[in-house]
Amino acid sequence: MNWPEVSFATESSATLMSEVPVDNQKWLGCEFMAKPDATFLLDDIEVPHTNIDVPFTVSKVEGNRLWVGEAWINKVEVVPVADAATFYTEYVRKHPDHAWGYMNRGLAWCCLDNKDNAITDFTQAIRLDSKYAIAYYNRGNSWADNGEFDKAIRDFNEAIRLDPEYVRAWYNRGVTLYEMDDVDQALKNFTEVIRLDPKNAAAFNDRGVIWNFKGEVDKAIQDFSKALWLKPDYDYALYNRGDVRNRTGAYSLAINDYSEAIRLDPKDEATCNSLAWLLATCPDAEFRDGTQAYILAEQLCESVAWEDAYYLDTLAAACAEAGDFQQAVKYQELSIKFLDKTEDRNIFMNRLALYREGQPYHTQPVGTESK
């Protein structure tokens, strides 16, 4: 990535304007962090820094302003991510008592995947300012990334105590609780996110995942649909809604959801595999299409060098549905070779036996017990 040339100086925008590149294309798609005293604006109203993802990616340029997803920021108020750790190191050298500098250098370390340095800097920021909610939040994220969920929860708790309307802290605490298998508390956190931010598509999607886990499929579909109403190109919500519809027998709607998700992200392996499997094994013949299933599954297998047991299993089912049982046997035998989960071995062997007998494999209709 060739970063735009951005001065590290902290003079006013007016004194630096001549140093800003005029080629707006150089800014698009680049990641930045904010300099000291930077201001994010939306309709001339200042947006809190807690509302901005860090690092932020430039998606639009107007004059000297950069659109970073939630707000505008001036070109001279940003520093490229690749140079941010160096920039903030110089800043904290000059301002060793500024918690903001340590917090932002911590974020820079996160961007460089140096979690230990990040945690050290976030901790120093907290020492300098014990009421610094953002520092607790960011340290919580680093603990969570390290798998230290209890420490993460403690930091998210403190961030929320200091700022009860800190939407991102509520959301990430919900994600962490879900990772800890505390789905009921995770559900409460996502519900609070939605109360605080009714347009938060991710919270609707993730709450839908929990409703689905709890068997509340109508509520799950309602939340996935709300997420998609808020964010029509939300491919993950399409995949999730497609899975629920597939398992409840709404095959046509499931195919539509999977297909749209793939249109949005053709490289999404999970969605491609789910659609291929449905087309190959659907209990309703109206929706089976062995040829299309084969095309999808073959592309998947090629993308992983023919070494994924489950993609090969899907390809074998597609071959069988298309009537090519010789190939079905070949790929099913290969899938068993790469199978790690011993508990699935009997299932794979049973399908292999079907293909050897010249029979395709179809899933059981909704509401019936598998044999």
Task: Give the Cα separation of 76 and 12 in Å (integer).
Answer: 8
Statement to judge: residues 76 and 99 lie in one domain? no
CATH number of 150's domain = 1.25.40.10
Higher pLDDT, 70 or 177: 177
Residues 6+ apart with CB under 8 A from 182: none
Whole-number Å distance between alpha carbons of 207 and 194 = 9
Residue 69 located in a structural domain: yes
- Same domain? For 105 and 193 the reply is yes
Q: Quick one: pLDDT at residue 129?
A: 97
pLDDT recorded at residue 70: 82
What is the per-residue pLDDT across 176-210, written as a single tens digit (0 to 9) for each?
Answer: 999 999 999 999 999 999 999 999 999 999 999 99
Asked if residue 70 and residue 135 are part of one domain, the reply reads no
CA 216 to chain centre: 23
In a domain, 185, yes or no: yes
What is the percentage of the chain residues whose pLDDT exceeds 90? 80
pLDDT attached to residue 332: 98
pLDDT band at 50; cut points 50, 70, 90: low
Residues 99 and 70 in one domain: no
Kindly state whether residues 130 and 173 are assigned to the same domain. yes
- pLDDT on residue 56: 87
**In this predicted structure, what is the pLDDT of residue 43?**
87
Boundary (domain end) residue, out of 81, 103, 119: 81
pLDDT digits (tens, 9 = 90+) for 255-275: 999 999 999 999 999 999 999
- pTM comes to 0.86
Question: Which residue bears the tokens 């392996």?
Answer: 269
Output DSSP code: residue 368. S
User: At 23, is the pLDDT very low, low, confident or very high (cuts 50, 70, 90)?
Assistant: low
Rounded mean pLDDT of the chain?
91
Per the structure, the complete domain to which residue 100 belongs is given by 95-198
Look at residue 25 and tell me whether its pLDDT is greater than 80: no
| pLDDT the model gives residue 309 | 97
Of the pLDDT bands very low, low, confident and very high (cuts 50, 70, 90), residue 54 is confident
Overall number of domains in the chain: 2
Quick: pLDDT tens for 327-353: 999 999 999 999 987 889 999 999 999
Neighbours of 195 (CB within 10 A): 13
- What pLDDT is attached to residue 340? 87
